[in-house]
Amino acid sequence: MNKGLLIVVSAPSGCGKGTILGEVLKEDNFYYSVSATTRCPREGEVNGVNYHFISKEEFQERIDSNGMLEYAEYCGNYYGTPRKEVEQMRLEGKDVILEIEVKGAMKVRTLCPDAIFVFIAPPSVKELERRLRKRGTETDDVIAKRVSEAANELTYAPKYDYLIVNGALEKAVDDFKTVIKAEKLKACYATEILDEVINNA
Ligand code: 5GP
């Protein structure tokens, strides 16, 4: 069995990546890696589903015990990817999705050269600000921080393998699925199929 893909997705806050991934994750073979964070839960967020909400001390312990594949600070909070689950799921053949910010993604780029990097951009930074205000889960201060962070994050987009602009949801979901399909067609993942082609009578 082939190892599952490792798909790293980054997008400025409010780009709609959660909605896109929600659609993609309806398909079977994906495993969404639940990150750990020191941020407080938003209304409706569930511990162990959206994030593992942990204290700064516990976060530090996990770093010290090599429990994080990567971690980064974002707008004053820490976020990190639990190493064990990601490796385990890939070995079981599941395609693992990491939804992480750009600095963490660049660390994964170095650590896992076989990972696929997808950047989701808003149609414009102004539209992103409008979406964040509409969501209404952050204060004006936090929105301003996130909009300015978004401008910085967009400068990382050329370092990714694929860029998807989330103007219309359906098209963005379709683009995402096309990326995965193309990756699966790569000859390096087709060794078993090639064996059959060569050996079957
Ligand atoms: P939010 O607070 O909006 O849930 O997430 C803020 C940012 O942290 C988003 O860009 C999100 O993708 C990123 N993030 C979430 N989990 C992780 C993680 O495990 N590692 C890193 N580096 N970033 C993460």
Q: 37 C-alpha vs ligand 1 centroid, how far in Å?
A: 8
pLDDT at 192 over 80: no
Q: Could you give the CA distance from residue 27 to residue 45 in angstroms, rounded to a whole number?
A: 22
How does the average pLDDT of the chain come out, rounded? 93
Phi (first) and psi of residue 71, to 5 degrees: -155, 160
Q: Where are the alpha helices (DSSP H) in the chain?
A: 17-24, 56-64, 83-91, 102-111, 125-135, 140-154, 169-184, 191-199
* Over residues 132-148, mean pLDDT: 88
Q: 104 C-alpha vs ligand 1 centroid, how far in Å?
A: 9
Task: Note whether residue 67 is domain-resident.
Answer: no
Indicate the number of domains in the chain. 1
Share of the chain above pLDDT 90, in %: 73
| 48-81 confidence digits (pLDDT tens) | 999 999 999 999 999 999 999 999 999 899 999 9
Task: Note whether residue 146 is domain-resident.
Answer: yes
At 61 the pLDDT is 98
Task: Note whether residue 55 is domain-resident.
Answer: no
Phi (first) and psi of residue 34, to 5 degrees: -85, 115
Q: Could you give the CA distance from residue 109 to residue 24 in angstroms, rounded to a whole number?
A: 22
At 168 the pLDDT is 92
More confident residue, 190 or 26: 26
pLDDT at 178 over 80: yes
**Nearest CA residue ID for atom 8, ligand 1:** 101
Task: Note whether residue 119 is domain-resident.
Answer: yes
Task: Note whether residue 41 is domain-resident.
Answer: no
| 76-119 confidence digits (pLDDT tens) | 999 999 999 999 999 999 999 999 999 999 999 999 999 999 99
pTM of the model: 0.91
At 135 the pLDDT is 83
3 state DSSP class of 1 = coil
How many contiguous H segments (helices) and E segments (strands) does the chain have?
8, 9
Task: Note whether residue 46 is domain-resident.
Answer: no
CATH number at residue 133: 3.40.50.300
**Residue 116's domain spans which residues?**
6-33+94-199
Task: Note whether residue 86 is domain-resident.
Answer: no
Task: Note whether residue 150 is domain-resident.
Answer: yes
Pocket of ligand 1 (CB under 6 A): 13, 35, 39, 70-72, 74, 79-81, 99-101, 104
